[in-house]
A and B are shown apart, each in its own frame.
Chain A
Amino acid sequence: MTVLPLCPTPIMQHETVQMAHGAGGRLSQSLMQRVFMPHIHNSYLDLLDDQAKLDLPPGMVAFTTDSYVVSPIFFPGGTIGELAVNGTVNDLAVGGARPLYLSAGFIIEEGFSLAELETIVISMAEAARKAGVMIVTGDTKVVGKGQCDKLFINTSGIGIVREGVNLSCRNLHPGDSIILSGTVGDHGMAIMTSREGLSFQSRIKSDCAALSGMIAAMLDVAPAIHAMRDPTRGGVAATLNELAVSSNVGISINETTIPVKAEVRGACELLGIDPLHVANEGKLVVAVAAVDAAKVLEVMRSFAEGRDAVIIGSVVNLHPGMVVMRTAFGSQRIIDLPLGEQLPRIC
């Protein structure tokens, strides 16, 4: 019997992402069909055109973009995918826009597990569903081993700004109340304590969440809210400073009102880090006229994302561009911008 020599056919079923998955050929197609399309589909994406052609409702268009490079990509309370959806949704929502459409660009390191990629895609689809947005266009690129850290995601988003709403970081007025939607530092500490090499264990979960639903309800009862920001990198301290500088007003807050979860406090003490400098991914800082504060607070507290909302201070006529905290002891100190990366310290 003669055995016919078989031409070796290329391997089509991979466990990990290969350079060829990003080369536009058959493997690229198989990546789309196997990992993305089963989980993310809608009338725009399913056309597989190079662009999504969108019908937008009337109103001003809000447009934003953000890149997500978090490490680790799976962390307690979320994934890089959920972060990429919620972060961009929140950037639209804090401008008073109803988030509608997202793009998603993936930069994947060669050798990254396809199963993990799929898990992340599923988490993105679920986050988009919860936030009521559609991922309508996307892109994947594969880079060589070591050229990126597992997976980077960029998302851009489009939303329509509500009529009659004018939210801007330049709108703060003396007398405004400053509301914080909940505990500070959860996301940053969840990331930091789950990183290798720091010998930590904690049950701290990221607060990663879409705020668009809560924000819409807040604007329903108080369309005249002056400003909103989600205090991500740099934490509440950075956000308050940006607001104070942009509006050229002072902000005064009370130390005893700032909510911090017990475990986050513990981790911050251990690492010598100020919770006000730690990133959040599902929190909101709101500046609103004092007369509207109570009803905004009530609405916020009716949402899971705003259950612990509290007034932490007010906008004042003093020290323009500066944030000052009244300590538990009755003294005052400046709340400054954090300087770059938060480093665990021994001293």
Chain B
Amino acid sequence: MCLAIPGKLVELSNENGLKMGIVDVNGSKTRACLEYVPEIQLGQYTIVHAGFALKIIDEEDAAESLKLWQELIESGAFQPDEPDREPPTFESL
């Protein structure tokens, strides 16, 4: 359920008394209602569902979790116990 895609706020506007904006996803832009993220600033990322921004993406948390995972990879903490399995082939499925 609930496709919600992260995009960057690139324009602010007001329509019929509602705080609205344009959110850019990889160069394609969509109009979104910003009433639920009143503190959002231009340049911030938000997830958009059904034309509504629902949450400003927590950049700190995102960077932290990615860093954590990256460190785990680099430190070799994620070591497979068994040799890499060959990816399944069509017949074996």
Contacts and interface: CB of A to CB of B under 8 A. Distances in A.
B88 A202 contact: no
A12 interface: no
B29 A346 contact: no
B79 interface: no
Contacts, number: 64
Nearest to B48: A270
Given A269-B5, A270-B5, A200 B26 contact: no
Q: Interface residues of B toward A: which range?
A: 20 to 34
Contact of A319 (B3, B7, B90): B90
Contacts of A318: 90-91
Contacts of B49: 346
A63 to B, nearest CB: 39
A199 B27 CA distance: 14
A347 B1 contact: yes
Chain B contact residues, majority secondary structure:
loop
Which of B28, B48, B49, B93 neighbours the largest number of chain A CB atoms within 10 Å of its CB?
B28
Given A318-B91, A330-B87, A347 B26 contact: no
A263 B2 CA distance: 22
Contact of A262 (B26, B29, B31, B48): B26
A204 B28 CA distance: 8
Nearest to A204: B28
B28 A267 contact: yes
A327 to B, nearest CB: 9
B25 interface: yes
A252 B89 CA distance: 11
Contacts of A319: 90
**Majority SS at the chain A contact face:** mixed
Contact of A270 (B28, B88, B89): B28
Contacts of B51: 199
A266 B2 contact: no
B25 A270 contact: yes
B55 to A, nearest CB: 16
Contacts of A332: 87-90, 93
A265 interface: yes
B25 A266 contact: yes
Nearest to B1: A347
Contacts of B28: 193, 200-202, 204, 263-264, 266-267, 270
B27 A269 contact: no
Interface string B1-38: 11101010000000000000010111111110000000
Interface in A105-159: none
A178 to B, nearest CB: 16
Contacts of B29: 200-202
A272 B26 contact: no
B88 A331 contact: yes
B73 interface: no
A345 B3 contact: yes
Contacts of B91: 318
Interface string B39-80: 000000000111100000000000000000000000000000
A199 B48 CA distance: 13
A140 to B, nearest CB: 37
Contacts of B25: 266-267, 269-270
Given A346-B49, A347-B2, A269 B88 contact: no
A203 B27 contact: yes
26 contacts: A199-B30, A199-B31, A200-B29, A200-B30, A201-B28, A201-B30, A202-B27, A202-B28, A204-B28, A263-B27, A263-B28, A264-B28, A266-B7, A266-B24, A266-B26, A266-B28, A267-B25, A269-B26, A270-B5, A318-B90, A319-B90, A324-B90, A326-B87, A332-B93, A346-B3, A347-B2
